[in-house]
Chain A
Amino acid sequence: MTMTQTKTTTKSAVSDERVARRSAFQKLLGRPEVGALVGAIVLFIFFALVSSTFTQPNALATILYGSSTIGIMAVGVSLLMIGGEFDLSTGVAVISSALTASMFSWYFSTNVWVGVGLALVVSVGIGFINGWILMKTKLPSFIVTLATFLMLTGLNLGLTRLIGGSVSSPSISNMDGFDSARAVFASSVNIAGIEVKNTVFIWIALVAVATWVLMRTRVGNWIFAVGGDENAARAVGVPVKATKIGLFMGVGFCGWVLGMHNLFAFDTVQSGEGVGNEFLYIIAAVIGGCLLTGGYGSAVGGAIGAFIFGMANKGIVYAQWNPDWFKFFLGLMLLLATIVNLIVKRRAELK
């Protein structure tokens, strides 16, 4: 800043002459999800060029649906990652939730809503146990949730066979409450002739709530703090344990929503499913600009990460390529995104 510039700038109560005015564009560049946003736009243009069907409204609705099944979980996982932890048990926990709802209501012949309610308790309970063990033992979340992942995988298979005598849960399609539950968790809305799955709206609502919590509430401040510097947060009186356990429970809640969708979109659940999906949620959060080390990121970023995932997943099909290439694309996206994030973090810390 030169002398002449300084003189011409009028100083007010809020602005300071030492701060060059940041344009809206520069402000955007400072956001955690900017890397993902650029990636999403590039990917969209790319697939729009190679495939004529990609930009059809119906195709977009399908892409959004695919994105939402990742994105719903990515909301919880993003917040957890900003809080400095991660969860490897999410993929199978979704299936555990679905199995709980269907097996309970089938075995006891209750209204399926009873099972749905119990599944919520179980899902949030799994989150609580994850968080509680983590806080008690102070082990890395990698170890604790890996153990939960293995145990849940075993429980899903073992209990399903023990109760139902099969690897998949029995069909619950003609039980009381099935239709109303399907309307809530797995219906679609007709918008101008296009069927849009309601998970898309649930996803958007969850992102909006998570963003508000993160940016505008005390709890949001605490989430950033426990992820950024746990000891500092504790020293100024932030309830670190409660915040982290709450984050795990939030992940549990998202798992419940997705688990209920999986159950009611069909009427049975395969007990061996879900393994490996936990990485997709983590990848979506990381691509979206959440730091693995915590303290930085956004819920919107996780949503964009999930959208990138959905586009790559369906785009390859629309472009009529061999879907074998999908994993390669995913890996490349992840690598590029983490490098961008690293640069962003360095710039934020050192200027």
Chain B
Amino acid sequence: MNANQIDQQTLLQNEKDPLTHTPVHLLSLDGVGKHYGNIIALSDVTMAVDNGRVTCVLGDNGAGKSTLIKIIAGLHQHDAGVLNIMGEERKFSSPRDALDAGIATVYQDLAVVPLMPIWRNFFLGSELTSGFGPFKSMDVEKMKAITLKELAEMGIDLRDVEQPIGQLSGGERQCVAIARAVYFGAKVLILDEPTAALGVKQSGVVLRYILQARDRGLGVIFITHNPHHAFPVGDRFLLLKRGKSIGYYDKKDITLDELTAQMAGGAELAELAHELEQLGGHGDIVKEVQAEVAGVSDTAQAGGPKHA
């Protein structure tokens, strides 16, 4: 690949922060690493998140994507490198810590409680209260009204906020989780494989919400293993493989084909073709794989998404 990798230092050269007049990333990682016992889950990862930009983190299963977001979301602590929030070095000790710093995460399993009504889920952990001291109670009507309004603004036409959230479809639940993060003043929104379990149409809906969140000025981190979902919405792409960064590109420097090729691992496909050839009797499959090695643009259907 001959695409230019991003140099973190020059990334904000032409941009000025309106308050400090110095270029500072909303969130940046510099050489971050993490090991669990003797297993190195992540090493030397560098990336940056800025207002109104979507940073995509791409990688196959076990590439270290989950470890990376767990560090940013405060579930785990990194043990190498530096995590900066607004130019200030931080190490989160709990998810609450990260939330207070404006980092909201929408997990793959969505962090919603299926048996609870939508409005209770929406405000879970940040309930609105009224009254004093021991008589402090939840402002139920206000919370219901806000839930309905916020979801309507995200374009989700809800039927009934009293419904248990488990009754919503996967895409709708995803959108509720995103709307919740946006409402609670998140500056950085982390989306962990939001489209992994969704159909084509629902994925499109979720991608649109990602763009809406971006247009509201949030810094979005979009974790996915599907370059076809990442490329249309992403501004920067960080590729992970076996816990290491194998590429960090700006959208203008890379094409979808190149991205897919890096994801699918061209060399591995060639090796597979070779092995199949030796086994013999798989003529058509060998041809198929060879075709893929040659024209990576076709890997989309066969290679990329099937890794899920």
Chain A positions near chain B (C-beta within 8 angstroms): 14, 16, 18-19, 212, 216-218, 220-222, 224-225, 228-229, 231-238, 295-296, 345, 348-351
Residue of A nearest to B100 (CB): A237
Q: Is B20 an interface residue (CB 8 A)?
A: no
Q: Are A231 and B111 in contact (CB under 8 A)?
A: yes
Q: Interface segment, B22-30, B34-42, B125-133?
A: B125-133
Q: Is the interface of B mostly helix, strand, loop or mixed?
A: loop
- Tell me if B299 counts as interface (CB < 8 A to partner A): no
The distance from the CB of B224 to the nearest CB of chain A, in whole angstroms, is 19
Closest chain A residue to B106, Cβ basis: A235
Q: Does B88 contact A (CB under 8 A)?
A: no
A interface, over-half SS: helix
Identify 5 new A-B residue pairs, CB closer than 8 A, beyond the known A225-B116, A348-B167.
A229-B114, A232-B113, A235-B95, A238-B125, A348-B115
Instruction: Write the chain B residue with the least CB distance to A224.
Output: B116
Cα separation A220 to B123 with both chains bound (whole Å): 12
The answer to whether A217 touches B124, judged by C-beta atoms less than 8 angstroms apart, is no
Answer yes or no: B96 CB below 8 A from chain A CBs. yes
Q: How large is the interface on B (under 10, 10 to 19, 20 to 34, 35 or more residues)?
A: 20 to 34
Q: Which of A18, A216, A217, A225 contacts B113 (CB 8 A)?
A: A225
**Cβ contacts under 8 Å, B107 to chain A:** 232, 235
Q: How far is the CA of A232 from the CA of B123 in the complex (A)?
A: 13
The answer, among B111, B127, B129, B166, for a CB contact under 8 Å with A235, is B111
Contact between B126 and A237, CB atoms less than 8 A apart: yes
CB pair A349 B164 closer than 8 Å: yes
Q: Which of these, B105, B110, B159, contacts A18 with CB under 8 Å?
A: B159
Q: Could you jot down 15 A-B contacts, CB within 8 Å?
A: A19-B159, A218-B136, A221-B116, A221-B127, A225-B125, A229-B113, A232-B110, A232-B112, A235-B73, A235-B105, A237-B99, A238-B124, A349-B115, A349-B164, A349-B167
CB pair A16–B159 under 8 Å, yes or no, is yes
User: Nearest CB to that of B127 among chain A residues?
Assistant: A218
* Residue from B109, B112, B138, B166 within 8 A of A217 (CB atoms): B138
User: Of A220, A229, A234, A350, which is within 8 A of B95 by CB?
Assistant: A234
Question: Nearest 10 A-B pairs (CB), nearest first?
Answer: A228-B113, A237-B125, A236-B125, A235-B111, A232-B111, A218-B127, A237-B96, A216-B137, A229-B113, A295-B115
Instruction: Name the CB-closest residue of B to A349.
Output: B166
Of all chain A residues, the one with the shortest Cβ separation from B140 is: A216
Check: B187 CB closer than 8 A to any chain A CB. no
Q: Indicate if the CB atoms of B125 and A296 lie closer than 8 Å.
A: no
Is A348 within 8 A of B166, CB to CB?
yes
A234 to B112, CA, bound (A): 10
Residues of B within 8 A of A (CB): 73, 75, 95-96, 99, 105, 107, 109-116, 120, 123-127, 129, 136-138, 140, 148, 158-160, 164, 166-167
Chain A residue nearest in CB terms to B112: A232
Is the CB–CB distance between B111 and A236 below 8 Å?
yes
A16 to B159, CA, bound (A): 6
Question: For A234, what are the chain B residues with a Cβ–Cβ distance below 8 Å?
Answer: 95
- What's the Cα separation between A18 and B158 when bound, in Å? 10
A59 to chain B, nearest CB (A): 38
Chain B residues with Cβ below 8 Å from A225 are 113, 116, 120, 124-125
How far in angstroms is the closest Cβ of chain B from A325?
36
- Shortest distance in angstroms between A163's beta carbon and chain B's nearest beta carbon? 37
User: Within the assembled complex, what's the spacing in Å between the Cα atoms of A238 and B116?
Assistant: 14
Residue among B109, B123, B124 with the highest chain A CB neighbour number at 10 A:
B124
Q: Are B136 and A16 in contact (CB under 8 A)?
A: no
Min distance, Cβ A233 to any Cβ of chain B, angstroms: 7
Q: How far is the CB of A115 from chain B (nearest CB, A)?
A: 27
Closest to A291 in B: B115
Question: Looking across the interface, which residue of chain A has its beta carbon closest to that of B149?
Answer: A13
**Which single residue of chain A is at the shortest CB-CB distance from B98?**
A237
| Contact among A14, A218, A233, A235 for B138, CB-based, below 8 A | A218
Chain A residues closer than 8 Å to B158, beta-carbon distance: 16
Is the pair A295, B113 in contact by a Cβ cutoff of 8 Å? yes
Complex Cα distance, B116 from A232, in Å, reads 12
B124 and A236: CB pair below 8 A? Answer: yes
Shortest CB-to-CB span from B80 to chain A, Å, is: 25
Q: Contacts A16-B159, A221-B127, A348-B164 known; A232 to B109 CB distance under 8 Å?
A: yes
Partner pick for B124 among A14, A221, A295, A351, CB 8 A cutoff? A221
